[in-house]
Amino acid sequence: MDRKIRSTYKFFIQMDDWYVVQKKIIHFFQNLGNVYPHQIKNHFKKLKYQLVKYYEHPYEKRTFLYLDIISWLNSKIENKSIELIIKERFIKNSQK
C-alpha cells in the first residue's frame, strides 16, 4: 500500500493537480498504518469531518465528482455496504 500511496502522490505532483481534499486523503492513508484497529472508525469520522467542509467549495468539489469518498467513509463508519449508503442517500434526496 505504501507503494500505491507514493505512486499516487507522485502522479498528482506531475499533473500539477493537487487539491486540499486529495492531500487530506493521501495524508490519511499514509498515517493509517500508525492507527490501532480500535481507533480506525474515529479516524474515518475525523477525515469525513475534514472533507465535508470542502464539499461545496468551487474548486475542491471536483474531487468529489470523481470519487465518492464521503459515501465510502459513511460505509466504513456505519458498517454498511457502500451500495446501501448510496441507495439510502438517493432515496433521501428523491423525497425532497
Helices 69-78 and 40-52: crossing angle in degrees, nearest 10, is 150
Higher pLDDT, 12 or 57: 57
Residues 76-92 as b or e (16 or more Cβ within 10 Å = b): bbeeeeeeebeeeeeee
pLDDT at 1: 66
* Closest residue by Cα to residue 55 from 81, 74, 78, 75: 74
Spatial contact of 47 and 67, defined as CB atoms under 8 Å apart: no
Does the pLDDT of residue 7 top 90, yes or no?
no
Does the pLDDT of residue 79 top 70, yes or no?
yes
Domain ranges of the chain: 19-94
pLDDT at 85: 94
Provide the whole-model pTM. Answer: 0.81
Mean pLDDT across the chain:
87
